[in-house]
Structure 1
Amino acid sequence: MNPSERKPSGEDRDKGNGSFGDNPWRAMGLIGSVGGTFAACLGLGYWLGLKLDAAQDTGYWSITGMAIGVVVAIVVAILLIRTFTGGKAN
């Protein structure tokens, strides 16, 4: 197809098989979801760790809470990516 014959409205975009295709909104939604998930899991893990530090008078639970938050965030991010891509690995 000649580039001058392309339709500017996006009618010729690939919308098949649940992939992102040319849809930037869907990609931005995924990036925002994954970023928000990481922020929430890290923040919650750190906050719970601080509460345990204060209760037990220690100084290592906040770091442990953040590490657990990262692991949880990675698992949730994988599930989000699978959902956004239609359950496929690629």
Structure 2
Amino acid sequence: MNSSNNDKNRGTDNGSFGDNPWRAMGLIGSVGGTIGACLGLGYWIGGKVTGAENTYGSIVGMSVGFVIAVFMTILLIKAFTGGKAK
């Protein structure tokens, strides 16, 4: 039988998702929750720092929250894949 490189990565013992849809759903849920929480907290903290009448702080807070969310998402993907994320 002719096997490709993808067939070698299908097992769950090497840290990949393999055929386990629950791990993939867990990753998607974790990434979505992380992005939502970072954006929400950034908006809230930015609004509290500058005051309720100024929306500039909220936009800056959301931008900082987005940058933090990107880094947290990278860390989550590395954790779910066993540090083998490329």
Q: Which string of whole-angstrom CA distances, capped at 9 and with x for unpartnered residues, describes residues 4-41 of structure 1? A: xxxxxxxxx73330110000000000000000000000
Structure 2 alignment gaps of length 5 or more = 2-9
Task: State the TM-score, normalizing by the size of structure 1.
Answer: 0.78
Alignment pair present for 1:52 and 2:49:
yes
- Runs of 4 or more consecutive aligned structure 1 residues displaced over 6 Å after TM superposition: none
Higher gyration radius (CA): 1
Structure 1 alignment gaps of length 5 or more = 2-12
Which runs of structure 2 are paired with 1:1-20 in the superposition (5 Å)? 14-20=11-17
Task: State the TM-score, normalizing by the size of structure 2.
Answer: 0.82
Alignment pair present for 1:77 and 2:73:
yes
Q: How many pairs align?
A: 78
Q: Could you say what the CA RMSD is over the residues aligned between the two structures, in angstroms?
A: 1.8
